[in-house]
Chains A and B, each alone.
Chain A
Amino acid sequence: PHFIIRVPEKEDALCFNIQETPGAVLNLISDPELGIAVNGELIGKKEPGNVAPTETYFGKIGIVITKLDVRLEVTAQGVTVLSGARNVALTWQEDVTLTEEGFNLQVNKMENALLSMGDGATFIIVLHQFRKGDPLHRDFLGFYTLDSHRFSERVHGLLGQFFHGVDYEISNIHKTADPEKPDASMRVKDSLLTVTRGWQKDYSKDLQSGSRVQCWFVHNNGQGLIDGTHTDYIVPDLF
């Protein structure tokens, strides 16, 4: 999956990819103070004979809100809400709004699901679909956050660690073989990295074609930009 970190102070963005084997579960957000955790399980393309496809996506997103005793499992098939002993299964086939004490979930038919929580944070999970019988692609999910400043100072995770900003400096921008993708040096978190200018797509506004986000791409699974290494974020299961 492509990770994009907007940096409004610099009117810029940082991006990196995490490639792990299908089935791995990555921790995206973990806020012990708010009691919110978001994990994503990877799936790969349908490549017969290729046991470890190079490109992976999120096929399942798990959200835990411990204070409300709520767990949400979002897949390309639907959204399951486990609230205490209650189990509500919603599909992507219809518009549904589910309002419970403490959170509000809106499923917009075949497009996205919006989860708004009591502390003000909002997640958007976008459904990407391919035609039935596509030989290569599987349906997958995108995960977007709004109001991430609402999280506590202790928030962490592959996305969460950037919720309260990230400081970096870019220097030595220089041409490469691809004129549209210059390289540069980036000083971040006591590391000096070589990064490449590129772009990724934001599908939160327009599911069909998305909008381009220019960003500095950090190679090697975000090594140097993220705290530790990406394998530190692998968790045993979705919840």
Chain B
Amino acid sequence: SLHDPSDDIEIYSVNIQSQITSRFAHNVITSRAVNRADQSREVSFDVDLPKTAFITNFTMVIDGVTYPGVIKEKEAAKKQYEKAVSRGQSAGLVRASGRKTEKFTVSVNVAPQSKITFELIYEELLKRNLGKYEMFIKVRPKKLVQSFQIDVDINEPQGISFLDAQGTFMTNDLLPLVHKSFSGEKGHVSFKPTIDQQRSCSNCSTTQLDGDFTVTYDVNRETPGNIQVVNGYFVHFFAPSKLKEVPKNIIFIIDRSISMIGLKMQQTKEALLKILDDVKEHDHFNFVIFDWGVEIWEQSLVKATPENLNRAKEYVRNLYPKGWTNINDALLSAISLLDQAHDARSVPKRSASLIIFMTDGQPSTGERNLDKIQENARNAIRGKYSLYSLGFGVGVDYPFLEKLSLENSGVARRIYEESDAALQMEGFYDEVANPTLMDIELQYPENAISDVTQNKFKHYFDGSEIVVAGRITDNDLNWLTADVTAEGEEDTLNYTHSAKVQEESEAVEQQQYIFGDFTERLWAYLTIQQLLEKRISAPANEKGNLTARALALSLKYQFVTPLTSMVVTKPEEKTGEEEAMIADKFVEGQESQAQSSYSAPRVGSSYSAPRYSPPPTSFVDSD
């Protein structure tokens, strides 16, 4: 959005250009405004961008003078920034703004009758989830804009299979203005409401454009995988379809400590009941419920027969919060249950074993040393199972959960404590509900390539996609061949994918008007992301090396990552001095603090006032 408190600032253009090539989105947001007043006015430029995106550039042009953002190592940027702060100026430019977004904000004084142009560029690799890629753009111009335009160009060498665009702010009048088209490799979405069409009512000066604009699409999959090679870099997309599901063995670890009292427990139960509806009959499952101690629903994993599911639902309905948070014993009990099931061969030999761990707090009893808990879980799992963590509410120690999961082939996810928390949990389950492959390894000719991103994966879930990128070091290589091995529902599967290096590169030359180095940037983006992720769970002696590599790439490719900052300099009207501002990347751990408004000292897990609680057995009170 671009706005000012008065009507003196006229926004004559907001242009959102998005170019997606092979899932890699390059977004340019440009706003142009003029100050019609006879005195200077402050103008703010706000952009909500996805947390997964990296800012790559920002510039302001004020009266023909360009003020560029410069991306630097965090420490170096901080020194420059601190100088400005010591003069009592400025603030950070990026802050957490929502579940999926962070907000970039710049405010600047614009002289009378002067023009200003803001341009922000950010890039991200779109992730395939439940059979589609999704790119969202927050739309909130706050004022009517002479020329408002969203253009999304998609270029997918595999061919586009479907394309859709939706806006949460769409009315029947606006809907026909969304133009969607696709043919072969190219797709296009545009949305250009006139100034009158933006009005919230016919004579209003307020805009109805406020919400998310989401583009979804998928690509054709004639083969399970596809390799693309451009300018010496390759990217391998692997997403086999029509495979039989591998049976799952799931342990749900549920925190029922007293801090879960109220809505959290209610929503957890709701989500579990829904999830139990979706568990397949060939799956096995069990519950590990913990408070001060651990309660295991059944002695061993049970098959998801209708009778067992009904009993499980009854058990879930009768869960009530109590006691403390004994995370260590709960994790070890769950791992031990899976070990026993595999040892006793009571679960299918070819099956995916998952632990879904849900908590809202930090350990308050049993083993409370976080490092020790992580070590215990790692040593007990030994790479055999995937551990997914769902962190509920603001009091949760998210970095702890993230490390715990990343060390054990899983991921951590935040569950936001709002009315749709149950839906968020179900949504997460849907993502991991359908494993079709296990122990996937993508191999490339060792002497011809280097700098390959992660190429071994514990599970492949239907509707997702594995992406591996790397650099081709052999200049004479004509064909790049990848061998993929994976364990399927019945046997070991082997796939071979290849791409002709020269021809592919020539073919892609036609697309280079988009941005020729996209494969290289995609590789850099993916590498940085994975290095940052590895850093979370790496031992101290490896951390330095991983950080150095991620930093070097962030600087080389000009990405604002958690290791770099962008310094933006803007003119300071009164003193004539320039003012430095800084754009940082928000990371999850920081976010929880930034969003937390607690001022009172809090130790241990968080607690919000009960809105619902189970009937107490007895009490004494008076009114």
Contacts and interface: CB of A to CB of B under 8 A. Distances in A.
Interface of A: 1-6, 8, 28, 40, 55, 57-58, 94-99, 101-102, 104, 106, 108-109, 111-112, 114, 116-122, 124, 126, 128, 140, 142-149, 158-159, 162-163, 200-205, 210
A2 B612 contact: no
Nearest to A40: B620
Interface string B44-57: 00000000000000
Residue of A109, A147, A159, A202 most packed against chain B (CB within 10 A): A147
B64 interface: no
Contacts of B257: 104, 116
A106 B612 CA distance: 17
Interface stretch (B120-128, B140-148, B318-326, B457-465): B318-326
A162 B618 contact: yes
Contacts of A121: 322
Contacts of A148: 617-618
A178 B152 CA distance: 73
A153 to B, nearest CB: 15
A111 B608 CA distance: 11
B622 A163 contact: no
B622 A6 contact: no
Given A4-B621, A122-B258, A122-B322, A146 B616 contact: yes
A116 B323 contact: yes
18 contacts: A4-B619, A58-B622, A95-B602, A95-B607, A97-B606, A99-B603, A99-B605, A104-B323, A104-B365, A109-B600, A120-B322, A124-B616, A142-B622, A145-B617, A145-B618, A158-B620, A200-B621, A204-B610
A204 B621 CA distance: 10
B619 A204 contact: yes
A3 B620 contact: yes
B599 to A, nearest CB: 8
Interface in B276-318: 291-293
Contacts of A57: 622
Contact of B618 (A55, A99, A101, A163): A163
Given A1-B621, A28-B620, A95 B598 contact: yes
Interface in B579-623: 598-607, 609-623
A25 B320 CA distance: 32
Of the candidates B293, B320, B602, the one having the most CB atoms from chain A within 10 angstroms of its own CB is B602
Nearest to B599: A94
Contacts of A102: 365
A137 B416 CA distance: 41
B573 to A, nearest CB: 43
A145 B258 contact: no
Contacts of A55: 622
A23 B9 CA distance: 70
Contacts of A120: 291-293, 322-323
Contacts of A101: 365
A126 B604 contact: no
Contact of B324 (A6, A118, A149): A118
A98 B603 contact: yes
Nearest to B262: A205
Given A122-B322, A163-B617, 4 more contacts: A104-B604, A117-B323, A144-B619, A163-B618
B620 A159 contact: yes
B607 A118 contact: no
Contacts of A203: 621, 623
Nearest to B363: A99
Given A120-B291, A120-B323, A106 B607 contact: yes
A3 B601 CA distance: 34
A55 B621 CA distance: 12
Interface in B375-406: none
Contacts of B259: 106
Contacts of A163: 617-618
A4 B618 contact: yes
B607 A108 contact: yes
A210 to B, nearest CB: 7
A159 B598 contact: no
Contact of B616 (A28, A95, A201, A202): A202
